[in-house]
Chains A and B, each alone.
Chain A
């Protein structure tokens, strides 16, 4: 059979390969009532502080926020048998300061809930973090890549975890020069300025890296985060504080699994997700699900700034007026000015006579509406 086929002239080429389509999908309704205990504990050996947060898991389809777990008794125990009782701070938080820590010892948490159920963590090693060698940023086509370098000459660190706090300066669309003050219009004092804000964001993703496949314990140009081109984060000035911890191998495996099953999904070849719980278990019922991880160690951090003018042109973004516009209120209308939803911007003059004020919706003139605070951070 000689079948010659000049074939397959696809009429539509665009969008057939992998572009596919991703659309929202509602959470499945399950009869699982959840309510599992969730423990988030960290022993910071740099400050000698242990903090633990207890919450409860809720069904996936629930719209509530996970409830906190009050009235629990939490004890930290070291491998020599010394115990330290944590104090409850409220809102599910328990802590204790001044804990003597020793890198040669192991620690574990013992929890007794108000229901008188006992939970226990595995003994964990606390790990000392080496300092961050260098925190840098590089412009790439996909945005500003922030990367970290570190190393450990003793070759003991190997497993690293980072988190970061971003702070960036943010401006309102219009500069509000006047305050309404119930009709008594005054020039704004610098203390009451609402044009410049600083907004904080903390890292949401699990950021881990390892040197286990390398012959030396180094981390080279590890990408901590990527700021997309034209991001409002660098409309003016941006700062990032990167914190570095070292994990045990077990903790690294835990975070790696958690990342793979809760963040890195959506490809064609995803591994099947499965249950990731952590290093706690119920004393009385080994089959009870307890979620969370207890770990500890020292923390190192490094801060860096980026200003808009540092960026190459193609990565810069500028705030636009968007839907914002200004209107005018005449002096005689001032008593009826709806303060609150609006802010006065500037004086309106006819020749040199003040006849009224321009105003704009508060969201266009008060930077706090975008989140953030007018209080300048100490490090700024």
Chain B
């Protein structure tokens, strides 16, 4: 049985011609349609005969036709095609009329799909303006009753509706839209392709669709069996001024997911900005549970995890260094972004490889309807992007580029230090999305960024991050779809200095990873949705290559041994709605890792601390595995609804990490090294328990939540004092084995609608480490737990918007956090006539607390719907109070004395003005 018929019926719509069921004229046709549309059949018939069709394409768009006929009578062919459906046909003169059942027609059909190809369009009696027409289409789409599945009398049980939600204007998939029915409450979210699959009881249902930045819509369904329903949504033309974490208002309570935040680029663009550009990494920092060690740095510390414990994905490909210009900009060009999802807990089994969190950044797809462009210019950066269809409604492209002319600014600044510095960067994004047919689509994405800087020294730093991904999505049927993803990520940096020709050198580091991943999602029934897949990643690292530069250089080349590894995983998960009040996700990931040769591995004396003096031997491994690790990573989430507006959630995650960044600086630097797990550096394992209570008040307009977590981490690493990380052939001697623990509480109150909206969050979080495996007298802080560099117990964030009118609004952002821990001197002494300091226990003091207020005013242009472009102005002030927040505190010996200093980065208010427009 290859014929699959599912179609939509418009209840109130009827055609305005008399019905004849007997044939006036006969003709014979030949041809073949394999899993084709009704339109294909129409083309065959119209080509071979004089017959012309009159029909409403919305009735036939869900027909899937498999037919092979040679010299067959038209009537027979059509009878065969329509058998099992409630469509009928009539041959009249040289016309073929398709009708639905036998009802009278009282209103015009709407041309929901394939307007141009529809002959029925000629019959439209009214001339709507384009806008009115669209409004009418939308209204009708909502009022119309869609029949899904063949009409049967068996209305018991459930059926699955699947489809794609797209933006009516540019055809771009709407990600994260919630699709749900209210009684019983069953809901789902669209995935990154805009795809959804929902299993609901058969019968008459109202499917509601909500997404931020889009107008809410709904569809009336008469559900008989599994079927497909594609939905178009309309953008809310006035950009929402609310700064809202994009999850639907009740989603926080009703969804199974906890510890997840989702930000839409439109939301992010309304927040006060630092350097004239929307920076997603800075916006993410305003969320509860996310910290950073210093202003202007890109590294995120999420729920007490290190910066390298976050998996940062751009269109599924890993990004190793998401920073530009010492960290003042992130590498994500706001023009091409769509949204960012941050998973702090409740990570599903399909994500893996990092301990702490997942930051999943998605770029937009190009406009499927028309060519459009965007760009921007500021004193620091300039950017441009262009997008449009290659094949209308099927294939689109998106190209983006961004660069800086900061070199020019640095030269203009009145500072010798800055005049001696140079800094430049650019990044490029390109993507193509192609819809092969209803069931197959393919996405290609490429990204590269490059930085070069010299910071008042003779050393030039360059680094480059590149990645590419290809994703093929295939819908097997309404219950099963899958994606196949291939990605490649590369990161490299180079330092060079030629100021002293004898010592001129270049040093470079490179990491590359190739990943292939297959994922399947199966909506088994109303209660179970199964996900599963497999992934494999190959790593190649060149940890350091030091070479002479120029003919005069006497530098001895120093090439570190290559590191190679293979990380694979299989995973499966089940989303099980046990009762309407109780849902469970249970998943398991099993990951395998091999450190691969050829490689020489140093051996150290048994029982002695790893040290250059305890090296006993070197083992030479040939190609093949050197060290193997594997383990299970269970993931569980449970939601229990206490009422319509309150729920309790619990989750447990185990994560394993086989690659780590080595950095003994506080902030992420471009020259940090990535290191694979090997004989000595074991994979990091992290367990997180989290518990949350969610309550919506006043008709879901106010959301409140409390989330608590407790985390343990094993096989984490820290460094000996003064560890040298570059070109270190026995890095294991400078690494100390540690274990960590972190815990915290996150409170959030959010009001996402009304004239005044925004959120207040308070986070209490602690993060500790201790050295293990050595005698306590030798260990850091005598083997006791010490605060990590990013342990900042108290953080308060306030984000508020006040809408004076539809064209004018204010927003205010207030951030407070405890100062980060530092190691301070406890004593001073004299040596060689100079006073020097002796440092005490690691991280036993803190820099002063951080406090910052940002402010912005948005002024919208007029709101005529029909105009070429919508524009707005944003005036913003970053650090309104000009507080000199400490970036670091340090003590130096100068002229024989000890002087203490506090360094601030943005020590004064920074006003910016931004002009935006949208067309």
22 contacts between A and B (CB under 8 A): A6-B375, A7-B277, A8-B376, A9-B276, A9-B912, A9-B913, A13-B379, A14-B413, A16-B275, A16-B910, A17-B413, A19-B415, A23-B884, A36-B838, A59-B826, A204-B894, A221-B500, A258-B836, A272-B822, A272-B823, A274-B823, A291-B838
> Is there contact, CB below 8 Å, between B500 and A220?
yes
> Is there contact, CB below 8 Å, between B908 and A270?
no
For residue A268, CB closer than 8 A to chain B, the reply is yes
Per-residue 0/1 for A219-259: is the Cβ within 8 Å of any B Cβ (1 yes, 0 no)?
Answer: 01100000000000000000000000000000000001110
A58 partner residues in chain B, CB cutoff 8 A: 827-829
Distance in Å from the Cβ of B820 to the closest Cβ of chain A?
Answer: 11
- Write the chain A residue with the least CB distance to B824: A28
Binds B, one of A126-134, A209-217, A358-366: A209-217
> Is there contact, CB below 8 Å, between A5 and B916?
yes
> Is there contact, CB below 8 Å, between A271 and B838?
no
If A1-B918, A4-B373 touch, whether A286 touches B840 (CB-CB below 8 Å) is no
Please report which residues of chain B, range 898-919, place their CB below 8 angstroms from some CB of chain A when the two chains form the complex.
898-908, 910-919
> Is there contact, CB below 8 Å, between B554 and A262?
no
B595 partner residues in chain A, CB cutoff 8 A: none
For residue A331, CB closer than 8 A to chain B, the reply is no
For residue B128, CB closer than 8 A to chain A, the reply is no
> Is there contact, CB below 8 Å, between A17 and B892?
no
Distance in Å from the Cβ of A15 to the closest Cβ of chain B?
Answer: 7
- Write the chain B residue with the least CB distance to A249: B612
Q: Determine which of A8, A15, A267 lies in contact with B379 in the assembled complex, contact meaning CB atoms within 8 Å.
A: A8
> Is there contact, CB below 8 Å, between A20 and B904?
yes
Binds A, one of B534-542, B659-667, B854-862: B659-667
Distance in Å from the Cβ of A122 to the closest Cβ of chain B?
Answer: 12
> Is there contact, CB below 8 Å, between B235 and A15?
no
In this complex, which of A15, A28, A263, A292 has the most chain B Cβ atoms within 10 angstroms of its Cβ? A28
Number of interface residues of B (CB under 8 A): 120
For residue B714, CB closer than 8 A to chain A, the reply is no
For residue A3, CB closer than 8 A to chain B, the reply is yes
For residue B150, CB closer than 8 A to chain A, the reply is no
For residue A218, CB closer than 8 A to chain B, the reply is yes
For residue A81, CB closer than 8 A to chain B, the reply is no
Q: How far is the CA of A216 from the CA of B552 in the complex (A)?
A: 12
Distance in Å from the Cβ of A273 to the closest Cβ of chain B?
Answer: 5
A323 partner residues in chain B, CB cutoff 8 A: none
Q: Determine which of A142, A272, A276 lies in contact with B664 in the assembled complex, contact meaning CB atoms within 8 Å.
A: A272
> Is there contact, CB below 8 Å, between A1 and B896?
no
Interface residues of A (CB under 8 A from B): 1-28, 30, 32, 34, 36, 38, 40, 55-60, 62, 65-66, 142, 163, 202, 204-205, 213-216, 218, 220-221, 256-258, 260-263, 265-277, 286-287, 289, 291-292
Distance in Å from the Cβ of B917 to the closest Cβ of chain A?
Answer: 5
If A7-B915, A268-B667, A275-B721 touch, whether A215 touches B373 (CB-CB below 8 Å) is no
Q: How far is the CA of A23 from the CA of B829 in the complex (A)?
A: 24
Main secondary structure of the interface of A (DSSP, over half): loop
Distance in Å from the Cβ of B8 to the closest Cβ of chain A?
Answer: 29
> Is there contact, CB below 8 Å, between B919 and A214?
no
> Is there contact, CB below 8 Å, between B902 and A22?
yes
Interface residues of B (CB under 8 A from A): 170, 172, 213, 235, 265-266, 269, 273, 275-277, 294, 296-297, 326-328, 335, 338, 364, 367, 372-381, 387, 406, 409-410, 412-418, 421, 423, 455, 500-503, 505, 546, 554-556, 558, 664-667, 669, 720-723, 777, 789, 822-840, 842, 845, 869, 884, 887-896, 898-908, 910-919
Distance in Å from the Cβ of B383 to the closest Cβ of chain A?
Answer: 9
B276 partner residues in chain A, CB cutoff 8 A: 7-10
> Is there contact, CB below 8 Å, between A2 and B372?
yes
B916 partner residues in chain A, CB cutoff 8 A: 3-7
If A3-B918, A9-B276 touch, whether A274 touches B839 (CB-CB below 8 Å) is yes
A16 partner residues in chain B, CB cutoff 8 A: 275, 906, 910
> Is there contact, CB below 8 Å, between A1 and B265?
yes
> Is there contact, CB below 8 Å, between A4 and B418?
no
Q: Determine which of B415, B840, B918 lies in contact with A4 in the assembled complex, contact meaning CB atoms within 8 Å.
A: B918
> Is there contact, CB below 8 Å, between A274 and B722?
yes
> Is there contact, CB below 8 Å, between A260 and B722?
yes
Q: Determine which of B378, B666, B720, B884 lies in contact with A7 in the assembled complex, contact meaning CB atoms within 8 Å.
A: B378
> Is there contact, CB below 8 Å, between A15 and B413?
yes
> Is there contact, CB below 8 Å, between B665 and A271?
yes
A30 partner residues in chain B, CB cutoff 8 A: 824, 826, 840, 845
The 5 A-B pairs with the shortest beta carbon distances in the complex, nearest first, are A8-B276, A274-B721, A8-B378, A21-B907, A34-B827
Q: How far is the CA of A221 from the CA of B554 in the complex (A)?
A: 14
> Is there contact, CB below 8 Å, between B827 and A32?
yes
In this complex, which of B374, B414, B830, B895 has the most chain A Cβ atoms within 10 angstroms of its Cβ? B830
If A22-B901, A274-B721 touch, whether A32 touches B409 (CB-CB below 8 Å) is no
> Is there contact, CB below 8 Å, between B884 and A257?
no
> Is there contact, CB below 8 Å, between A24 and B502?
no
- Write the chain B residue with the least CB distance to A14: B413
> Is there contact, CB below 8 Å, between B830 and A66?
yes
> Is there contact, CB below 8 Å, between A216 and B554?
yes
Q: How far is the CA of A2 from the CA of B894 in the complex (A)?
A: 55
> Is there contact, CB below 8 Å, between A265 and B891?
yes
> Is there contact, CB below 8 Å, between A1 and B379?
no
> Is there contact, CB below 8 Å, between B825 and A60?
yes
A28 partner residues in chain B, CB cutoff 8 A: 824, 845
B912 partner residues in chain A, CB cutoff 8 A: 8-11
> Is there contact, CB below 8 Å, between A273 and B823?
yes
> Is there contact, CB below 8 Å, between A204 and B833?
yes
> Is there contact, CB below 8 Å, between B722 and A34?
no
> Is there contact, CB below 8 Å, between A11 and B911?
yes
Q: How far is the CA of A74 from the CA of B898 in the complex (A)?
A: 30
If A7-B277, A16-B910, A275-B840 touch, whether A2 touches B374 (CB-CB below 8 Å) is yes
